[in-house]
Amino acid sequence: MPVPKALRPVGIALVDKPAGPSSFGIVAALRRRTRARTGHAGTLDPFATGLLVLLSGAATRLAPCFVGLDKRYVTDIDLTSTTTTGDPEGEIVEQHPAPSRAGLDEALARLRGEIELPIPAASAVKIDGERAYKLARRGVAVDMPLRRSLVHALDVITYSGDAAAVPSVRIELHVSSGTYVRSIAQALGGHCTTLRRTAVGPFAVDESAPVEDATLLPVAEALGRLPGDALDRVPDAVRAGVLALDAPVGNGNAA
């Protein structure tokens, strides 16, 4: 069956992804409902939950406006082991004693501000023309490139254990686009056990719904919430063309 390419309905869907399905599975589910071309403004790993910003119809032409927005996450990190993927889906690579609270706080301090960390091996980045996660599945060891990102805020919500040993920690992060939270977990000597995206730019997960219930936010309303530098990523003429196809406010439901 050919992939739908209809330019309508037009809008932005704020979807709360559950753990399990891939982000592309969620995109396909919305596409089946709307029968329009559908894109995304950043994916989540299958184990992760939270906000996916999906673009329907002609709104896919506006992807650059949304892709570069800051993200917010809450994650639980097991500080006693690392895995091949930086999350619970990988094999355990190393086990070690839990850090002290003081040692953990020192490590967290080093991860605030501008940082450079290796991209996880289980990622979609291409190495010599092939996706890194495919190489990892075959057991091919590669030196992963570093990625520079900005950690605006990294705050502890809860520590487990006591001052002498903290087996796990829950943290809240506000980071620039393209930041791998799994890399931050690995830099702390652990791996993510849960990961939830709570916001993408001005859009919060509290506004979202499961893909089967998600409605389409009118493009004009969504663009009106973006900063000027995000709007500048798409030419005025392209934005005007999409707005001309935008559904009326009273007709924002997905089909």
The per-residue DSSP string of 114-140 comes to EEEEEPPSSSS-EETTEEHHHHHHTT-
Residues 6+ positions from 225 with CB-CB distance below 8 Å: 201, 202, 203
Say which residue the tokens 């000027």 belong to. Answer: 228
Residue with tokens 């993510």: 192
Active site residue 45: yes
Q: Which helix (H) or strand (E) holds 243?
A: helix 236-245
CA distance 253 to 58: 16
Distance CA 38, CA 54 (A): 7
Q: Residue 52: in which H helix or E strand, if any?
A: strand 49-56
Q: Position of tokens 């919305």?
A: 30
Catalytic choice (45, 76, 78, 246): 45
Task: Tell the burial category of 132 from Cβ atoms under 10 Å away from its Cβ (0-12, 13-18, 19+).
Answer: buried
3-class secondary structure, 75: strand
Q: Are strands 49-56 and 38-40 parallel, antiparallel or unpaired?
A: antiparallel
Measured distance CA(72)–CA(169) in Å, rounded: 17
Which residues are tagged catalytic? 45
